[in-house]
Amino acid sequence: MTPVIEVRDLYYSYEDGAQALSGINLTVGTGETVALLGANGSGKTTLLLHLNGLLTGRGTVLIGGVPLTPSSAQRLRAKVGVVFQDSDDQLFLPTVLEDVAFGPLNQGHPPAEALRRARAALLSTGLAGIDDRAPYHLSAGEKRRVALAGVLAMEPDILILDEPTTYLDPPAQRNLARLLLALPQPKLIATHDVRFAAAVAHRAVFLAAGKIAAQGTVEDLAKQYDWDWASFSPRP
Amino acid sequence: MRHHRIAGWSLLDSPLHRRDARAKLLATLLFLLALALAPQSSALAAVPFALVLLAALFFARLPLLPLLLRSASVLPFSIVFALIEWASGHGPHGGALLAKSYVSALAVLLLAASTPMPSLLHAMESLGVPRAFVLIAQSLFRYLFVIAEVAQRMRLASLCRGGTSPLRPSAGFRASAGSLAVLFARSQQRAHGIHMAMLSRGFHGSLPLAVRPRFRPSDAGFLAAACALGAALYLSVTLR
Amino acid sequence: MHIPDNFLSPPVWLALDAISLPLVGWVARRSFRDSDHTATPRLGVMGAFVFAAQMINFPVGAGTSAHLLGGALLVSILGPTATVLVMTTIVAMQAFVFQDGGVLALGANVFNMALAGVVAAALALRAFRRFPSAALFLAGAVSVLASAFLALAELLASGVHMPPALLWASIGLFAVSAVVEGAITLAVVRAVSRLNSRWLSLPSQAGRGPLAAFSLAALLMAVAAFFVASSQPDGLQTLAARFHISSQPILPAPLAGYSMSLAGPPWLGRASAALAGLLLAAAACLALGRFLARRRSA
């Protein structure tokens, strides 16, 4: 069976010459949720931006078996839904409904159909009745779910989430985890939050210095890289 | 921030809030025009206009005092010029300028407080304002609060470290320039982030309009009434 | 300097609405000809930045502080065309949402701040591109001067009375705010270029064409402004009377009198006197800018 995401020997360096990705190999299978762990600056966001062609490095990225090229990127972007770390980047239109309808309109749906999809996506993220609200007036948790709805309205095959728990309080984090577990799409989630990762992901990969340093369960990787609070001795 | 309240008012519900934004925008322009063409000789000419506005405020179920105070932001300019007029022996003219500029500001505030910004911008677009301006204004308004919050946090952080009393003014000046540069860098990053997020949702240059408001018969009636009222107001103060 | 409604007489604001609104509309349609609106969010964010930047105070001595107005800073970041669009949006937003400046007077305020101020800043940046510091200081200063003097001229042309003492006081005030804006613009652009110089779009060495275009545009605007003024005989008489009164100098100043005896219709003489005043003010700024630039680089 074709993996939904397949990355082969991906290299990328920034304009100033710094190497961001040095030989990434990664596959995400159907129905699988993979957590992407790693230190700040290890290349997580850079890797995610390669998966819908916003960045193009050296190497191969296959989405559903189709190679990602400049000519196929526009089409494949509809299949790969990216939820950004800062919801304010994503929610740029004046009302919630217009923002969620932005993706479907870009896909070429007529306004009525785009609005129908937007309303359905809002409903599926538990956000009925805030259509005309301004994103600025929403809580961090609501903003994150609107951003997710904006991606779901495009009916993507894969979900990519960059640090989805940033700015969320614990109840909102649990809400988000519940929501993600209910969504059938395969997911790749970059996060620092080991408990969140363990709650939603089947397995994890650990990124260090632009390379996949290890793969395994979230718990094993957390232990191997001392990535949670287990080794911390509490206050005497 | 100050203008937060206007955004809040604009989301209330009232007969005036429910009117189509295009009708309200045109009615406001007519009102301003009638007022501007009214005689400049005495402040009394502004009185009938003020009465009409107060009635509209009542129908809009907006809080009277905050709106009256809010539109006083025009007064510093007006009072200075009214005093100059008065000092140079043109007292009534100065009074008329003061009264008319205040009533004009109140009329525009009433429009802003009864019409949500997105609808107002859509109305402007359908009345011929180029789409580029509407889009720039949309994202300006959307990110105004976001960036102002960054500025506010930077100001607080500098206050917490005694930023108000630099030893030398030139050092303070340079520090302010530095924080403005950082604010600019953050805005630049924000713009880049928005652009990336838009591209990843399939953006390819055009921003189609999803929601088109409907112009109902009641809106046409409202506009016709506003025209008649504007003409009546103008005639009432000019024919006297 | 935002002019509220009812301070300008109908011929003045109507004429300025008729000039500036179609003009900025043309600029907008030209810039986004293929309805590719990719750049608009960035322009909006930059507009929001200018709004928010006004919250940051700059100490200017004597316990007072000032803030950035932003026209020249935007020109040095976005270039003149995009700045015209952003400044127009800002001025319109100030009028409609914050009651800062009139709605009928929108054309006048757009003309002063989004067109004349921006063109003046762009001209200064072009003309002095070999001396970047001086160019930036001047850009800030002349953008404020152009906007403020135009606003003053429009008010006078509308028959607003202004005793000579006050006229001089406001001119002094303009000069101070021009120097402050120039200094802030220079300081901020330097700080920005230390962070990342690629963010700036300062004019390159090449390009006579744009310079000529801008000079032409500035000249057209000046002509248009005086055409507006001359269409208003009452206002012009007041203007003349004001300037005439001011020939009994309260402050000894080289420009006292403001009247150059020129042949031709009286409005032409007055227009050239005003233009000469503007040029002199610009020259003074220029000298100050060079002096400051030399001192700073020393």
Q: In chain B, whose CA is at the least distance from the CA of C163? A: B88
pLDDT surpassing 50 at residue B24: yes
SS3 label, residue A82: strand
The answer to whether the beta carbons of residues C217 and C176 sit under 8 Å apart is: no
Q: In chain C, whose CA is at the least distance from the CA of B107? A: C99
Q: Is residue C261 part of a domain?
A: yes
* Phi, psi (degrees; rounded to nearest 5) at B127: -95, 15
Q: Is residue C2 part of a domain?
A: no
Domain with C154, as residue range(s), is 10-297
Determine the Cα–Cα distance for residues C298 and C295; give it in Å rounded to an integer: 5
Instruction: Give the pLDDT of residue C260.
Output: 36
- Summarize the confidence of residues B204-232 as an average pLDDT: 81
Answer left, alpha or beta for residue A167, where phi above 0 means left and psi between -120 and 50 means alpha. left
What is the distance, to the nearest Å, from the Cα of residue B23 to the centroid of all Cα atoms in its chain? 17
Q: Which residues of B touch C57 (CB under 8 A)?
A: 176
Neighbouring subunits of B (3+ Cβ pairs under 8 A): A, C
The minimal CB distance from A105 to the residues B118, B145, B208 is found for B208
Residue in this structure with the two tokens 């220029």, named with its chain if needed:
C286
B3 HSE (CA, 13 A, CB side): 20
**pLDDT tens digits along B150-176:** 888 888 887 777 666 555 667 778 888
The three state secondary structure string of C260-280 is: CCCCCCHHHHHHHHHHHHHHH
Q: Which residues of B touch A14 (CB under 8 A)?
A: none
Q: How far is A43 from chain B (nearest CA, A)?
A: 17
- Summarize the confidence of residues B178-199 as an average pLDDT: 89
Neighbouring subunits of A (3+ Cβ pairs under 8 A): B
Residues 6+ apart with CB under 8 A from A23: A9, A10, A11, A59, A210, A211
Q: Is residue C120 part of a domain?
A: yes
Q: Is residue C3 part of a domain?
A: no
The minimal CB distance from B155 to the residues C10, C45, C56 is found for C56
The minimal CB distance from A86 to the residues B138, B145, B193 is found for B193
Q: How far is B24 from chain A (nearest CA, A)?
A: 20
Report how many domains make up chain C. Answer: 1
Q: Within 10 A of C280 (CB to CB), how many other CB atoms are there? A: 12
The answer to whether the beta carbons of residues C155 and C7 sit under 8 Å apart is: yes
SS3 label, residue C141: helix
Q: Is residue C272 part of a domain?
A: yes
pLDDT surpassing 80 at residue B85: yes
Going by C-alpha positions, the residue among B131, B57, B111 that lies closest to residue C5 is B111
Instruction: Give the pLDDT of residue B1.
Output: 46
Pull the structure tokens for residue B131: 């789409």
Determine the Cα–Cα distance for residues C187 and C197; give it in Å rounded to an integer: 14
Instruction: Give the pLDDT of residue C212.
Output: 53
Going by C-alpha positions, the residue among A206, A229, A223 that lies closest to residue A39 is A206
Answer left, alpha or beta for residue A211, where phi above 0 means left and psi between -120 and 50 means alpha. beta
Instruction: Give the pLDDT of residue C240.
Output: 40
**pLDDT tens digits along A164-199:** 999 999 999 999 999 999 999 999 999 999 999 999
Q: In chain B, whose CA is at the least distance from the CA of C165? A: B84
Determine the Cα–Cα distance for residues C133 and C188; give it in Å rounded to an integer: 11
Q: Does B210 touch chain A (CB under 8 A)?
A: yes
Polymer length in residues for chain B? 240
**pLDDT tens digits along C241-255:** 444 333 333 333 333
Residue in this structure with the two tokens 């001392």, named with its chain if needed:
A226
Q: Look at strands A203-208 and A80-83 and give their pairing.
A: unpaired
Pull the structure tokens for residue B39: 């005689």
The band of A108, judged by pLDDT with boundaries at 50, 70 and 90, is confident
Please list the alpha-helical segments (H only) found in C54-116.
Answer: 71-78, 80-98, 106-109
DSSP C54: T
- Summarize the confidence of residues C181-198 as an average pLDDT: 88
Q: Is residue C4 part of a domain?
A: no
Domain CATH for C25 = 1.10.1760.20
pLDDT surpassing 50 at residue A28: yes
Q: In chain B, whose CA is at the least distance from the CA of C160? A: B85
Burial group, residue A155, by CB count within 10 angstroms (0-12, 13-18, 19+): middle
B-interface mutation test, from C12, C24, C29, C96, most B Cβ less than 10 A away:
C96
